[in-house]
Amino acid sequence: MSEFIASASNAIYQWYALPLLLVACGLYLTIRTGFVQIRGFAGGVRRVVRGMSHHQEGEGEITPFQALSTALASTVGNGNIGGVATAILVGGPGAIFWMWVTAVFGMATKYAEAVLGVTYRVKKESGAFASGPMYYIMAGVKSPGIAKALAMMFCVFGAATALLGTGNMAQSNTIVRTFVEAAAGFGLEVSPWVPGLLITVAVGAVLLGGIHRIASVAEKLVPTMLVLYLGMALTYLIMNISALPGVFATIFEYAFQPHAAAGGFLGVTVRQAIAAGISRGVLSNEAGLGSAPIAHGIAQVKHPTDQGLVGVFEVFIDTIVVCSMTAFAVLSSGMWQAAEYQAASGDLTAAAFSTSIGIAPLVIAISSFLFGFSTIIGWYYYGETCWEYMFGRKGIFPYRIIYVALLLIGGLVTVETVWNIGTLLNGFMAFPNLIGLLFLGGVVAKKTNEYYASEKGGGSG
């Protein structure tokens, strides 16, 4: 079964499959929006800063900053710790370059998802708002048959990804491994059951409160965990600043040529570098998956572009900042070539930082717990929204029980299996959403032009 999952995941991430569709969609949306990731970046930063004061501008379920925090809670997860490490192990240093490419075009994709999420959100009988690709696909795609098929396909794979993939099992797996690694660094032997049970109980307590509690926890947790992790990463960067030019040179060199075997590293082809970089990039920033508009779409904003610009900032923070910091530590330390870490994930990142910072395993363990915890609660809401769309409110309680139970199982399976499941389901989830985005590119362009032509947009973002 593990071999089948790995083969299927590799097939989806061949350059001519999902990677080509992701880049093509991102390029198309970049052109249609007039390079919104560049002209709108400053505006996105201003909206994030303003949103910290709980500024409310229009109808919606949660504040713009809570929407960003919920989305960031889901994106800034253990993909930034364990996912980057596995990308390098699977695709070599060149994988980081392709991760950056995914992020550049992903900013426009995430922008479009947030714009469409707000534009086509619905108000349920309870008075609560709901959003996501299933709603904008059904409302925006003119062919009813195609629209229904794409919407249901997204919901099926969205719920599966939340239960079995990046939103759940992959997170608990990395939390458990980094926790055990940190304990070993202090001479302690800890059973994987301990951190597994800890994260399961903590998540269960938060999920009882629904989206408002999730958003409230996320807006406090996300800034804290970013400051903790980036503070350590910046300290490492300063201590090893002389290695930075060499790391960049290695990344760019091996993005376009094979990497030979070195130490315990077996070597990779350019095709492997592209597949690993794009798959882990998507896993980390989720641009194109269709998950983020479920949160961005219910933000309290007057114009869809307001939240779209916040989405641009989200991808920048996740991949260009956080993932790059992790990659620098892993590559500059040389630990990625060590034989004992060729089947690692977050434990490789912990070992890399510990070459210069003695308490790094402890900080990584805490960061992994916070990153994973935030991602798990955010993805629960995404999965619940997909589940409710398919089965109604009556199906939510069984979904919640299954979700929490799988957390514990995820911490006990092998690294390779859990990440392959995650990347495979990400691919299945992305296809219907990307097709929907291509259908609705004209709507995104219209909303963008409307915004920048108005006094509110001012033409400057």
The helix/strand/coil state of 259 is strand
Global confidence as pTM: 0.86
Q: Name beta bridge partners: 434.
A: none
Residue 217 in tokens: 């926890």
Q: What is the CA radius of gyration of the chain?
A: 20
Q: Is residue 95 within 8 Å of 280, Cβ to Cβ?
A: yes
Task: Render pLDDT for 157-184 as a digit per residue (tens, 0 to 9).
Answer: 999 999 887 778 878 887 887 788 788 8
Which backbone phi and psi does 265 adopt, to 5 degrees? Answer: -75, 130
Whether residue 327 is predicted with pLDDT greater than 90 in this model: the reply is yes
Percent of the chain predicted with pLDDT > 70: 94
HSE-up of 442 (CA within 13 Å, CB side)? 4
pLDDT at 52: 66
Mean pLDDT of 314-325: 93
Classify domain 2-449 at the CATH superfamily level. Answer: Amino acid/polyamine transporter I (1.20.1740.10)
pLDDT at 356: 94
Residue 259 in tokens: 């990497």
Whether residue 331 is predicted with pLDDT greater than 90 in this model: the reply is yes
pLDDT at 121: 94
pLDDT at 18: 83
Q: Is residue 95 within 8 Å of 276, Cβ to Cβ?
A: yes
More confident residue, 77 or 102: 102
pLDDT at 230: 92
Task: Render pLDDT for 185-195 as a digit per residue (tens, 0 to 9).
Answer: 778 888 888 88
Separation CA 261–CA 266 (nearest Å): 4
Separation CA 418–CA 6 (nearest Å): 10
Separation CA 453–CA 414 (nearest Å): 53
Closest CA to 132 of 455, 429, 410, 442: 429
Task: Render pLDDT for 16-42 as a digit per residue (tens, 0 to 9).
Answer: 788 889 889 999 999 999 999 999 999
Q: Determine which of 18-32, 222-236, 340-354, 403-417 has the lowest per-residue pLDDT on average.
A: 403-417
Mean pLDDT of 324-347: 88
pLDDT at 146: 93
**Residues 439, 445, 447, 448, Cα dihedral to 10°:** 150
Task: Say which DSSP state 340 is in.
Answer: G
Q: What is the mean pLDDT of the chain?
A: 86
Kindly indicate the confidence band of residue 56, based on its pLDDT and cuts at 50, 70 and 90: low
Kindly indicate the confidence band of residue 340, based on its pLDDT and cuts at 50, 70 and 90: confident
pLDDT at 293: 94
What is the enclosing helix (H) or strand (E) of 32?
helix 18-32
Task: Render pLDDT for 418-442 as a digit per residue (tens, 0 to 9).
Answer: 777 877 888 899 999 999 999 999 9
Task: Say which DSSP state 56 is in.
Answer: -
Kindly indicate the confidence band of residue 459, based on its pLDDT and cuts at 50, 70 and 90: very low
Domain ranges of the chain: 2-449
Give the DSSP per-residue string, 375-404: HHHHHHHHHHHHHHHHH-GGGHHHHHHHHH
Residue 155: which residues within 8 A CB-CB, separation 6 or more? 134, 386, 387, 389, 390
Mean pLDDT of 243-264: 88
440-444: which pairs have CB atoms within 8 A and are 24 or more residues apart?
440/112, 440/116, 440/136, 440/137, 440/140, 440/141, 441/28, 441/29, 441/32, 441/112, 442/32, 443/116, 443/119, 443/140, 444/29, 444/32, 444/33, 444/111, 444/112, 444/115, 444/116
Q: Is residue 63 within 8 Å of 56, Cβ to Cβ?
A: yes
Mean pLDDT of 348-370: 88
pLDDT at 16: 77
